[in-house]
Amino acid sequence: MNREIKAESEKENYGQLKEFAIREGVSLFGVADIAGLPERHCSLSKKTMEGLDKAISVAFRLSDRVLEDIADGPTKLYFFHYQRANMFLDELGLKMTNFIQSRGWEALPIPASQIVDWENQRAHVSHKHVAVQAGLGWIGRNNLLVTHQFGSRQRLITVLTNMPLETDEPISWGCGECRACLSSCPSQSLKEKPEDFDHIGCYHQIKALVKAAGISQNICGLCVKACRPKRNFTTENAENTEINFIVKKTK
């Protein structure tokens, strides 16, 4: 396959998969080349990852009303919403896997919320770091994915594949002067620089909050609520974005 035919195939596959994902209800879509994904962001074995050099990253927008209901910690309403958003994304991951495999390629859906090491905050694959490589957003001061469209008010899922796909480019870090998340954290685990995030302090604070709330999942929601979309964001002036908040390819 010469270069032009390969590029056309990658473009066609990207367009078809993106269209499928939009129909299924995703809010953001992007594709990353993960050949150089650092080991700290992936706990899967080399055998499991063999040949899977692309990652599809999609996001589902959370309900603003549910998040605004949060005051001092996670609510039962947020707990339910969080769980159902993850279930939706896991089902979508299965559907995208079926879409890809029916066309003769391999796919590996990564659960939306399955932590394998909570104290060290490690999952099978870091959805947020894949999303950064796929051009959806950047890692903010709250150590979460931040997007122009929704702030941190989204949940993510990743599907690894060997399907030939065009890839998107990362966008610039965009928190700027915003520090709304810093004051939202009762344990002061959030710092000026994302890399200084105190994940141990966050972990212990979450354990206390979920116990007080009487819920069974390690969630908080305070810095998610605090991280709102940019007020001056429009689909006309935002790089990597097109109508209906679906991320557009950039190369």
Here the CATH number for the domain that contains residue 86 is 3.40.109
Task: Specify the pLDDT at position 233.
Answer: 52
At residue 245 the predicted structure's pLDDT band, cuts being 50, 70 and 90, is: very low
Does any domain span residue 186? no
The span from the first CA to the last CA of the chain, in angstroms, equals 20
| Sign of the four-CA dihedral 134, 147, 187, 69 | negative
Task: Specify the pLDDT at position 184.
Answer: 96
Does any domain span residue 199? no
Q: Which has the minimum average pLDDT: 4-13, 70-79, 83-92, 174-183? A: 4-13
Does any domain span residue 190? no
| Percent of the chain topping pLDDT 90 | 75
CA distance 89 to 99: 15
| Sign of the four-CA dihedral 28, 93, 129, 56 | negative
- Helical (H) or strand (E) element with 65: helix 64-68
Question: Is the pLDDT higher at 121 or at 48?
Answer: 48
69: buried, middle or exposed (CB in 10 Å: 19+, 13-18, 0-12)?
A: middle
Question: Is the pLDDT higher at 6 or at 220?
Answer: 220
Does any domain span residue 201? no
pLDDT at 232 over 90: no
Does any domain span residue 219? no
Does any domain span residue 11? yes
| Residue 47 CA: distances (Å) to CA of 43, 52, 129, 184 | 12, 10, 21, 41
* Domain extent for 126: 3-62+77-173+230-247
Does any domain span residue 114? yes
- Comparing C-alpha atoms, which of 161, 169, 128 is closest to residue 13? 161
- Tell me what the mean pLDDT of segment 25-34 comes to: 96
Task: Specify the pLDDT at position 250.
Answer: 41
pLDDT at 29 over 80: yes
| Percent of the chain topping pLDDT 70 | 89
Tens digit of pLDDT for each residue in 62-109? Answer: 999 999 999 999 999 999 999 999 999 999 999 999 999 999 999 999
Task: Specify the pLDDT at position 188.
Answer: 96
- Helical (H) or strand (E) element with 38: none
> Across all residues in the chain, what is the average pLDDT?
89
Report residue 249 as tokens.
């390819």
Count of domains forming the chain? 1
CA distance 218 to 212: 12
Does any domain span residue 194? no
